[in-house]
Structure 1
Amino acid sequence: MAEGYELPLLLFAGFRTLIDDLHAELARRGHPDVRPAYGFAMQAIGVRGASASEVGRRLGVSKQAAGKTVDRLEALGYVERVDDPADARRKLLRLTPRGIDSLAQSAEIFDDLRARWVTELGADRVELIESSLRTVVSGPTFPVDVPGWFS
């Protein structure tokens, strides 16, 4: 029987393996500068855009920490700052076509990675892992606050 501490480490190792493989493939597909934190930040910005404060809250980090990540994403061409149509005093962060492409590519790559797991483990086992995790994971949404949770 496995020790209790092994479960979170195995779950994290599986997550880390998927994320590392994702980023290696993203680099091959023209996005060599994308880091895991950037992916979470782009998810926090979303297709509708968000303010820096909203991004910080969604990531579970300070506005300043979110701002540093957004500054880097802007420098890399993944995010732009635009006037907020609802409030002229506020800037809205929005994904650029490059940012949208990196997220679309990520979705494709995750599908490929899942298919690899199916090949290696079998469809029944992968579906069992997914359904088992859905049973024990609370909430209907997937959190993007991993950067803040780890700090």
Structure 2
Amino acid sequence: MSTSPPGYELPLRLFLGFRTIIDEVHAELARQGHPDVRPLHGFVMQAIGTRGTTAAELGRRLGVSKQAAGKTVDTLERVGYVERGSDPHDARRKVVRLTDRGVDSLVRSARIFDDIRARWAQALGEDRLLALESDLRAVTPADIFRLDVPGWFGGFD
């Protein structure tokens, strides 16, 4: 009789670890003045990037339709995290850019992720956490910034 857990538990535990971290990040972001930011918004703001992008390109980066990306941009614009403007090189194109509030939320979330990692290192031991991270790098693709996760999950309305 095997003492190994069933195979389905591994993805559930990995997802639960992800969910635990993301929930904690967003609870802390809310305490730090960003109560409107949702997990999906972080992917969207990362995909917009520092130079901005169009709704069509944003949809491609996220793996969703231009319309779905545009709907999320509408939400983020309404709560002050992004703004739309003209492309300085092509007035026909509308570019979505992060506002100072959007950039602030990303900077704060990066710090919060670092704080959570430090707490995990304290709880598990730095060597064990480094080994876990190394092991995960060995079995996952090198590109850790897959921004199409929301589209893969079907996370857009």
Give 1 or 2 for the bigger CA radius of gyration: 2
TM tier, smaller: over 0.9
Residue 82 of structure 1 aligns to a residue whose secondary structure is: strand
User: Deviations 1:84-105 (Å, cap 9, x if unpaired)?
Assistant: 1121100100000000000000
1:31 aligns with 2:45: no
1:70 aligns with 2:67: no
CA RMSD of aligned residues (A): 0.8
Among candidates 12, 15, 18, match of residue 18 of structure 2: 15
Structure 2 spans left out of the alignment, 5+ residues: none
What stretches of structure 1 move > 4 A for 4+ residues in a row? Answer: none
CA distance in 2, matches of 1:128, 1:141: 17
Identity %: 68
CA distance in 1, matches of 2:30, 2:71: 22
Per the TM alignment, residue 24 of structure 1 is displaced from its structure 2 partner at its CA by 0.3
The count of corresponding residues between Structure 1 and Structure 2 is 151
Q: TM-score, normalised by structure 1?
A: 0.98
1:137 aligns with 2:124: no
Among candidates 113, 118, 132, match of residue 115 of structure 1: 118
Per the TM alignment, residue 146 of structure 1 is displaced from its structure 2 partner at its CA by 1.2
Residue 91 of structure 1 aligns to a residue whose secondary structure is: strand
